[in-house]
Amino acid sequence: MDRITAEPVTALVSSPFFHSSAMDGYAVRFDATFGASETTPVQLRIPGDAVYINTGEPIPDGFNAVIMIEDVNVVTSSLEDKAIEIIKAAAPYQHIRVIGEDIVATELILPENHKIRAIDIGAALAGGHTQIKVRKRPSVAIIPTGSEIVTPGVPLTKGKIIDSNSAMLQGLINASGASAICYPIVKDDLSEIKAAVSEAVRVHDLVLIIAGSSAGSRDYTSTVIKDLGQCILHGVNIKPGRPLILGTIGRCAVAGVPGYPVSAYITIDLFIKPLIQKWLGLSAQAVETIPAVIGRTISSAIGQEEFVRVKVGKVGNRFVATPLGRGAGVMMSLVRADAMLVIPAMSEGVGAASEVNLSLMRPKGDILNTIVCIGSHDNTLDVLYNFLKRKYPQYSLSSAHVGSMGGIIAIKKHEAHIAGTHLLDEQTGLYNIPFIEKYLPDEKVILVNLVYREQGFIVRPGNPKHISTIDDLTREDIVFINRQPGTGTRLLTDKCLRERGIPGQKIRGYDTIEYTHMAVASAVASGRADTGMGILTAAIALGLDFIPVAKERYDFVLTQDSYALPMVEALFDIIRTDTAFRQTTLQMGGYDISDMGKVMYSN
């Protein structure tokens, strides 16, 4: 399976190999049946002139037609003498499966350069083959380098990075039809890297050296390749993936693959996979593209072709794309990606609402079955996604965190099926409804509660900086971490500051923003900030302490059209009836689920 034919496969024998009956009935000689009719039936003696035959059995020598059992009347003249009576002449070879009906000897079964499927194996066997020549899988060595890199499973210490690239590259290479093995990690030492590469190039067709391909003081890859062979290319005009090196050492192809995981992935996809396919005699698989509308402006530096990972969903009758994190180190942007948007080198980017062509990274069918959730972040979204996939494996939930206002605008622009929102209207004291009435006046919408949750200041365990009130944020020794404008959490922070008359600019870190509660909690946990506003659940998740500020309502808003989609119905089935989902939500801490699934508003 999945190997590539190295030469044409032609049939050694015909299939079937003999004339056989296609029916249960009697084998006869067709010329003995001439003249049979209702008025002049013909009798054929058994076994001289007619022989019973099962479907699939060989036609006895001398016989050349089969009469179906239904068309035969068996007559018995004596105990030994039996005959069949027929009332219709048989045509030559009627109801006979003839030799070569499927495959005639010498016929082409499979051409060269053909990827072998299960059915091809069946046909090759039926054509008399027990072995066929296939292309050798190119042999690929993966050599991870870097003194900071440790094997997965080794306890992490500061400065150490888990070698996740080797296994990822091995998976990519194997999936492309080659066979990859991973070498042990080599530290940043010219002679050690040289020794490993020298050994690898002797026995492999291709050697991939991970990291050290930039121009830094400890980047030895290009030196190693130049010393042992030829460097063909150093640096390509793409982002991520610029510091790629391609070269040869003897008869072996060598590549210096950038160490950032997204760069590594993209360079393998663009440069290494086609090489392997060429070796195998495979054509490059055309990637399916779809037209889509980009939800947000994506700017890109002129002069580099940029590969932006995006999430895609079908909202109404168009595909809508949302860009994911663009850093070369953000592996999760690849895990979450549905498609790649390629921004040409000479472009400054794409504007919001412009039409683009996306290269799909998932089957289109999966994308059609994905609920697009854009809006406020809450930890239950991941849990909900997981429970949806558990009960309805065909559906998926894709969430992007742009804040509550961003979510409502996404619903307005038909860029999302559903939005999470927790916007408090200070005048009325109501959550979400006044905003829906203001921003979505022309939409038929429905508002459904997910949870009530606690917001407050997340602090390190034991509250070492003794933060107790909002006034503490202005202290010289306190670094704050904020959320982006347009989020309900940012509005809450600003409301608290306003009530105390504190201008944001008096707070250190007020302009430093993160996009999720977990990122705020992580900033506090890592010491990057002393505190930030976030939900209790995030504090609990990372073992942090929490100073409560407000209890708030987190709802889903969606159009009635989206609400009627089967995949959205499945989502609300989880929300309303899945007790395990409710239990998991409660176990995370910080949630009140008394109104979970309740319709709070509809028009």
**Selected binder of a second copy within 103, 308, 402, 416 (CB under 8 A):** 103
Listed ranges 101-109, 407-415, 426-434, 594-602: which one lies at the site for a second copy (CB under 8 A):
101-109
CB 216 to a second copy: min, Å: 6
Instruction: Measure the CA–CA gap between 407 and 374, rounded to whole angstroms.
Output: 5
**Selected binder of a second copy within 54, 76, 237, 577 (CB under 8 A):** 54
CB 97 to a second copy: min, Å: 6
337: number of Cβ within 10 Å: 22
Q: Residue 119 interacts with a second copy (CB under 8 A)?
A: yes
Instruction: Measure the CA–CA gap between 84 and 79, rounded to whole angstroms.
Output: 14
CB 64 to a second copy: min, Å: 7
536-555 residues near a second copy, rule: CB under 8 A: 541-542
**Selected binder of a second copy within 162, 353, 586, 599 (CB under 8 A):** 162
Q: Which is nearer to a second copy, 12 or 87 (CB)?
A: 12
Q: Which is nearer to a second copy, 217 or 428 (CB)?
A: 217
Token pair in block for residue 295: 């939800």
**Selected binder of a second copy within 77, 299, 386, 577 (CB under 8 A):** 386
CB 126 to a second copy: min, Å: 4
81-100 residues near a second copy, rule: CB under 8 A: 91-93, 97-100
Q: Which is nearer to a second copy, 109 or 294 (CB)?
A: 109
Contact 496, 549 (CB under 8 A): yes
Instruction: Measure the CA–CA gap between 197 and 177, rounded to whole angstroms.
Output: 22
173: number of Cβ within 10 Å: 25
Q: Which is nearer to a second copy, 122 or 461 (CB)?
A: 122
Listed ranges 213-221, 440-448, 460-468, 594-602: which one lies at the site for a second copy (CB under 8 A):
213-221
Q: Which is nearer to a second copy, 41 or 274 (CB)?
A: 274
166-185 residues near a second copy, rule: CB under 8 A: 167-172, 174-175
CB 303 to a second copy: min, Å: 17
3-state SS class at 96: strand
Q: Residue 105 interacts with a second copy (CB under 8 A)?
A: yes
- Judge residue 223's burial from the number of C-beta atoms within 10 Å of its C-beta, 0-12 exposed, 13-18 middle, 19 or more buried: middle
CB 246 to a second copy: min, Å: 21
CB under 8 Å to 139, separation ≥6 — which residues?
178, 179, 181, 203, 204, 205, 206
3-state SS class at 202: helix
Q: Which is nearer to a second copy, 132 or 201 (CB)?
A: 132
Question: Could you give the residue ranges of the DSSP H alpha helices within 362-419?
Answer: 364-368, 380-391, 403-412
For 59-89, what is the HEC assignment?
CCCCCCEEEEHHHCEEEECCCCCEEEEECCC
Q: Residue 394 interacts with a second copy (CB under 8 A)?
A: yes
CB 435 to a second copy: min, Å: 28
**Selected binder of a second copy within 27, 132, 525, 558 (CB under 8 A):** 525
Instruction: Measure the CA–CA gap between 51 and 257, rounded to whole angstroms.
Output: 72
Closest CA to 368 of 320, 297, 324: 320
| Vertex 545: Cα angle to 542 and 547 (nearest 5) | 135
Listed ranges 201-209, 246-254, 293-301, 329-337: which one lies at the site for a second copy (CB under 8 A):
329-337
Provide the residue type at 184 as one letter.
P
CB 66 to a second copy: min, Å: 13
556-585 residues near a second copy, rule: CB under 8 A: none
Listed ranges 102-110, 225-233, 343-351, 570-578: which one lies at the site for a second copy (CB under 8 A):
102-110
Q: Residue 186 interacts with a second copy (CB under 8 A)?
A: no
Q: Residue 505 interacts with a second copy (CB under 8 A)?
A: no
**Residue 458: strand pairing partners:** 532, 546
Q: Residue 18 interacts with a second copy (CB under 8 A)?
A: yes
DSSP secondary structure letters along 262-327: HHHHHHIIIIIHHHHHHHHTPPPPPPPEEEEEESS-EE--TTSEEEEEEEEEEETTEEEEEE----
**Selected binder of a second copy within 87, 305, 528, 578 (CB under 8 A):** 528
Q: Which is nearer to a second copy, 442 or 476 (CB)?
A: 476
CB 375 to a second copy: min, Å: 17
Q: Measured on CA atoms in the order 555, 561, 562, 563, is the torsion positive or negative? A: positive
Listed ranges 79-87, 103-111, 428-436, 454-462: which one lies at the site for a second copy (CB under 8 A):
103-111
Closest CA to 402 of 386, 390, 388, 413: 413
240-259 residues near a second copy, rule: CB under 8 A: 259
Q: Which is nearer to a second copy, 164 or 463 (CB)?
A: 164
266-325 residues near a second copy, rule: CB under 8 A: 281-286, 288
Q: Residue 357 interacts with a second copy (CB under 8 A)?
A: no
Identify the residue whose tokens are 């002449």.
89
Distances (CA, A) of 365 to 362, 370, 391, 561, 566: 8, 9, 18, 20, 14
Q: How many residues bind a second copy (CB under 8 A)?
A: 121
Q: Residue 465 interacts with a second copy (CB under 8 A)?
A: no
Q: End-to-end alpha-carbon separation of the chain, Å?
A: 56
Q: Residue 111 interacts with a second copy (CB under 8 A)?
A: yes
Contact 142, 170 (CB under 8 A): yes
Listed ranges 81-89, 162-170, 234-242, 562-570: which one lies at the site for a second copy (CB under 8 A):
162-170
CB 522 to a second copy: min, Å: 4
365-384 residues near a second copy, rule: CB under 8 A: 365, 368-369, 382-383
Instruction: Measure the CA–CA gap between 210 and 201, rounded to whole angstroms.
Output: 15
Q: Residue 41 interacts with a second copy (CB under 8 A)?
A: no
Q: Residue 364 interacts with a second copy (CB under 8 A)?
A: yes
CB under 8 Å to 132, separation ≥6 — which residues?
5, 9, 110, 124
124: number of Cβ within 10 Å: 22
